[in-house]
Structure 1
Amino acid sequence: MAKSENANVGKVSKPNVFVRIGMFVRQMFQEISKVVAPSGKELLGWSVAVFIFVVLLMLFITSLDFGLGRLMVTLFG
């Protein structure tokens, strides 16, 4: 009998679905208000860094492709 009494004590009722949706929307707007847009200088710096990284990655993949292609032609004629 003690088990059933303890089971009811540990049970926490959740708010209804509309309250939970409202809470989600409220928390979403709170988090969005914390977002800070980068300055023009930061945006330019990160854009250049991403562009350089993509170019280097393209060069690496291209050299692998040509190198392995030449290796296959050499091996299998």
Structure 2
Amino acid sequence: MDQDEVRGDVVAAGSYSLGDKKLGFFGRIALFFRQVISELRKVVTPTRKELVKFTLVVLVFVVIVMALVYGLDWLFGTATHYVFGVPS
């Protein structure tokens, strides 16, 4: 557990305060990796049921957007042929 979490402090993503001293190049890199690992521990893996549900939602959304794009393409194509005519 991070010392800031124990005290209940909120630390901004871009800030780094270990005391009030400036960190060097390698210190900032090490702090970055510590923060990444800390955030990765908060990740929750979805269950199989959730994963299937999320996948179906995405697929349905993609099909709807494809149908919308197809419909607009057909509409504008038809309008273009109507306005400019078909060359002989």
TM-score, normalised with respect to structure 1: 0.77
Gaps of 5+ in 1: 1-11
Task: Tell me the distance in 1 between the aligned counterparts of 2:25 and 2:41.
Answer: 24
Q: In the alignment, residue 64 of structure 1 is paired with which amino acid?
A: L
Query: Shift of residue 15 of structure 1?
Result: 2.0
Equivalent in the alignment of 2:12: none
Following TM superposition, the consecutive aligned residue runs of length 4 or more in structure 1 with deviations greater than 6 angstroms are none
The count of residues paired between Structure 1 and Structure 2 equals 66
TM-score, normalised with respect to structure 2: 0.68
Query: Shift of residue 45 of structure 1?
Result: 0.5
| Structure with larger Rg | 1
- Identical positions, percent: 38
CA deviations over 1:6-28 (Å, ceiling 9, x no partner) = xxxxxx65122222221111111
Equivalent in the alignment of 1:40: 48
C-alpha RMSD over aligned residues: 1.3
